[in-house]
Amino acid sequence: MDEFDLIHSITPRTIHHSSVDVGIGDDAALYTAKHGVQEIVCMDTMVEDVHFKLHYSSPEDIGYKALAVNISDIAAMGGIPKFYLVSLAVPAKWTESEIKAMYEGMNELAKLYHMDLIGGDTVSTSDKLVVTVTVIGEVEKGRACLRSLARPNDIVFVTGEIGSSAAGLSLLLEENNPQNLFLDTDYFINRHKRPQPRVSVGRLCSSIKRAALNDISDGLASELNEIAEASCVSIEIDESILPIHSDLPKLHSNWKEWALFGGEDFELTGTVSKEEWEVLKQECKIRQLPITKIGHVREKTESNVILKTEKTTMALEKKGYNHFK
């Protein structure tokens, strides 16, 4: 495969943002930042056999997800994704058409958000595929939804449903074979392979007075811990109102673990004041964006995150959990 041919074949034919002054084809990309905004930058890496396996993920799936997880970080800041750069370390056995298919998977998502591919690098490696994506976005000055913005008495919310991605992964790894043939297992698998970043909800959060926000990459418990730590508050959530897919409990007795610690849902979780919650809920309803209240923010106590169940309360650690009552 000729590197120059590959670069030519992946160079976009159209540019969505007129602020791109130079895209692919020079030493670096050039763009002009808008006045009155802050630039947002994130970078995430996915490694073969650590984050995905080739026997169940197509090149398109891998490309799609590598971009999706970065867009999700921009969404979690309340921003608009604008540009992306892609760096691939590709094993020699990959064909040019497989590499192009990875870019196709990214392009599918990029088109949706009018994002421009502006740079990157493709190098060979002897072993595992490594995909690194950098996404640049923007948010109106002072409107970013930081983890440190949670305050006591805030409402805690989560978008969509949680645990479905972990369920999908479990199905892909054939850890369990559900007996019930009427279960739509493809739904869960797709939630794992093709997560939908919640850019619209992030944008709504950036438009209200104050919102703390995180995207669920490491699991709800971990993300809420990060918000609680950064904001010096405690967060209490109610197990009975966590939004899950109605089929989730039918898949495996593990379903509560999946919902709390599973991760890779790429939903958003955060906190807003009670007044702003009413606004946010209404705006989401109008746009048919699913969002659920799952708890409250408290003054800081010994535990960062507390789960209330029917019978007890327990501390939710960043990873795993401890019973303390």
Q: Which of 166, 134, 165, 127 is nearest to 49 (CA)?
A: 127
Q: Does 144 bind a copy of itself (CB under 8 A)?
A: yes
Chain residues 206-265 in contact with a copy of itself, contact rule CB under 8 A: 213-215, 230
DSSP helix/strand/coil, 193 = helix
Rg (CA), the chain: 20
Q: How far is the CB of 325 from a copy of itself (least distance, A)?
A: 26
Question: Can you tell me which of 66, 130, 162, 172 binds a copy of itself, judged by CB under 8 A?
Answer: 130
| Tokens (6 digits) for 107 | 């392009």
User: Given the complex with a copy of itself, which of 50 and 112 has the nearer CB atom?
Assistant: 50
Is residue 28 part of the contact set for a copy of itself (CB under 8 A)?
A: yes
At residue 254, φ and ψ (nearest 5 deg) are -75, 0
Q: Which residues are annotated as a binding site?
A: 27, 44, 51, 73, 103, 120-121, 147, 215, 217-218, 264, 321
Decide: is 11 part of the binding site for a copy of itself (CB under 8 A): no
Q: How far apart are CA 186 and CA 195, in angstroms?
A: 13
From candidates 10, 66, 85, 162, binder to a copy of itself by CB under 8 A: 85
Nearest in space to 195 (alpha carbons), one of 47, 65, 48: 65
132 touches a copy of itself (CB under 8 A): yes
The answer to whether 153 contacts a copy of itself (rule: CB under 8 A) is no
Stretch that binds a copy of itself, among 39-47, 59-67, 277-285, 298-306 (CB under 8 A): 39-47
Can you tell me the distance from the alpha carbon of 256 to that of 320, in angstroms, rounded to the nearest whole number?
Answer: 12
Q: For strand 116-125 and strand 80-91, is the pairing parallel, antiparallel, or unpaired?
A: parallel
Tell the smallest beta-carbon distance from residue 253 to a copy of itself (Å).
29
- Contact call for residue 200 and a copy of itself (CB under 8 A): no
Token pair belonging to 259: 């919902």
**Distance, CA of 270 to CA of 25 (rounded, Å):** 40
Q: CB nearer to a copy of itself: give 173 or 241.
A: 173
Residue 10 interacting with a copy of itself (CB under 8 A): no
Pairing of strands 234-238, 291-298: antiparallel
The residues, any chain, with a CB within 8 Å of residue 239's CB and separated by 6 or more, are: 256, 307, 308, 309, 310
- Pick between residue 39 and residue 276 the one whose CB is nearest to a copy of itself: 39
DSSP 65-104: HHHHHHHHHHHTTT-EEEEEEEEEEEETT--HHHHHHHHH
316 touches a copy of itself (CB under 8 A): no
- Closer CB to a copy of itself, 127 or 184, in the complex: 127
Rounded to a whole number of angstroms, the minimum distance from the CB of residue 281 to a copy of itself is 23
Strand runs labelled E in 165-223: 211-215
Among 5, 8, 9, 30, the residue binding a copy of itself under the rule CB under 8 A is 30
Closest approach of Cβ 184 to a copy of itself, in Å?
31
Residues at the interface with a copy of itself (CB under 8 A): 4, 21-22, 25-33, 35, 38-47, 49-51, 73-74, 76-77, 79, 83, 85-89, 118-121, 123-128, 130, 132, 134-137, 139, 141, 144, 146-148, 213-215, 230, 318
